[in-house]
Amino acid sequence: MVYFLVGWYPHPPIRYSRRWHAAHTGVHKGAFVCRTIVGLGAHFSCGGSGMKLNAAAIQMQTRVGDVSHNLGLAEKMVREAARSGARLIALPEFFTSAITPDERPYAAVLSAHNHAVSLLKRLASELDIWIGGSLLQEDHGEIYNRYVFVEPNHRLHTHDKDIPTMWENAFYVGGTDDGVMQSDLGVVGAAVCWELIREQTVQRMQGRVQIAMTGTHWWTVPSNWPGLSPKSLLLGTLARHNAQLSENAPSEFAKRLGVPVLQASHCGQFSGRFRLLAGLETTLPYSTHFVGATQIVDANGNVLGSRHTDQGPGIVHATINIQEPPLLNGHKNSRFWVPRLPWLMRRYWDQQNWATKPIYAKKGRQMGLAAAKRNFLKLTQDNLDD
């Protein structure tokens, strides 16, 4: 297991000033405006009990690289959620395609003008809903894991995940925005997957948001390495801790922010190639599955609705209470991670970041940009045919 023993290269925290927050989001720390949400039949009043809203989080099993199939699946499930009364709907991180450790996901990179965002806008307007999820998107020559939040009036808000998780480094670069969005629904915070367990995410949102829209794409240890299965002595403990971390992340995030959290997950199994060394094509076959659960939790971290990944695709429904942003608690954790991660999990994170990050510069960026161009041309042709 030599590849787990490489050095630890922590990412420096991204820091945001008050002036930066105000200039980029129009929201100052502690600022809150009461409003009536047209069409919801509810009034949002400062200091009151808040506004109750029917919400849904969607658990998907996508086909790798098959954007058209995955968008069709997403549309079907969003419509089903809306028919059941949901007004706020969360799709998973990478709802256009799961990100496996091979070249197939590059086919899912989309241009700035793409049919995935167009679909979300159309559904938001037609169904009178707020909806969000993330996808690989090209922007000014780089590729980002972009969370898109769309309002019924077509207003679009985005957040780029700050640090790619392990082999995701081969597919995109991190962003620098704070993930705080001023919407007609209130102030929304967007975060995906391991952003929920990083202290810098909590610090940039704490006391500023009323609800968190999140998605996840959280895998586990390999099931096909002889002697190193999820039930083995070495990786078994890591697998259990990893699953618990994934399942607990939404509740812990909600407790620290003091707001409801919607978390939408992938489910199912997948395979790829595990990169051993940076700059070399040395790999091992890697078969695994998604862990955790699609959940809706309240501002105290209580789980209102949940669907475990081993239950397959489905929709979680719950009624949430949106209130004004809670006051900052004044506590700032100096650690990089919110929880204390096991040594082996930190080594796994470090090794995969180190081994896969060079792929983006070497070929990943160009492969993604080429796919974005093909997908844009296909979209243009489809529009002409219509």
DSSP 218-268: -B---SSSTT-STTSHHHHHHHHHHHHHHHHHHHHHHHHHTS-EEEEEB-S
Region label for 385, one of left (φ > 0), alpha (ψ between -120 and 50) or beta (otherwise): alpha
pLDDT at residue number 379 = 75
Sequence spans of domains, the chain: 8-385
Average pLDDT of the chain is 87
In percent, how much of the chain has pLDDT > 70? 84
pLDDT at residue number 29 = 37
pLDDT at residue number 381 = 64
Which 8-state DSSP code applies to residue 117?
Answer: H
Rounded-to-integer distance, Cα 98 and Cα 282, Å:
23
Rounded-to-integer distance, Cα 16 and Cα 27, Å:
13
Amino acid identity of residue 259, one-letter, is V
Res 94 pLDDT > 90: yes
Closest CA to 298 of 330, 258, 325, 338: 258
- Using pLDDT thresholds of 50, 70 and 90, give the confidence band for residue 39: very low
What does the pLDDT look like over 333-350, one tens digit per residue? 778 999 999 999 999 999
Res 30 pLDDT > 50: no
Lowest mean pLDDT among 48-52, 115-119, 356-360: 48-52
Question: Average pLDDT in the 51-75 region?
Answer: 97
pLDDT at residue number 241 = 94
Res 19 pLDDT > 80: no
- Using pLDDT thresholds of 50, 70 and 90, give the confidence band for residue 166: very high
17 vs 92, 162, 204, CA distance in Å?
30, 16, 9
- Using pLDDT thresholds of 50, 70 and 90, give the confidence band for residue 227: confident
- Using pLDDT thresholds of 50, 70 and 90, give the confidence band for residue 286: very high
Q: Hey, what are 337's tokens?
A: 């991670």
Res 20 pLDDT > 60: no
Rg value, the chain, Cα: 20
Rounded-to-integer distance, Cα 81 and Cα 296, Å:
14
Residue 95 CA, chain-centre distance (Å), reads 9
Res 196 pLDDT > 80: yes
Res 9 pLDDT > 50: no
Res 8 pLDDT > 70: no
- Using pLDDT thresholds of 50, 70 and 90, give the confidence band for residue 7: very low
Q: Hey, what are 364's tokens?
A: 């990943």
CATH number of 8-385: 3.60.110.10
Judge residue 7's burial from the number of C-beta atoms within 10 Å of its C-beta, 0-12 exposed, 13-18 middle, 19 or more buried. Answer: exposed
Dihedrals φ, ψ of 12, to 5°? -70, 145
Rounded-to-integer distance, Cα 303 and Cα 134, Å:
23
Task: Please state whether beta strands 314-322 and 156-160 pair in parallel, antiparallel, or not at all (unpaired).
Answer: unpaired
Report if pTM > 0.85: yes
Closest CA to 268 of 230, 229, 231, 312: 312
Angle made by CA atoms 161, 163, 169, in degrees to the nearest 5: 105
Closest CA to 328 of 2, 32, 14: 32
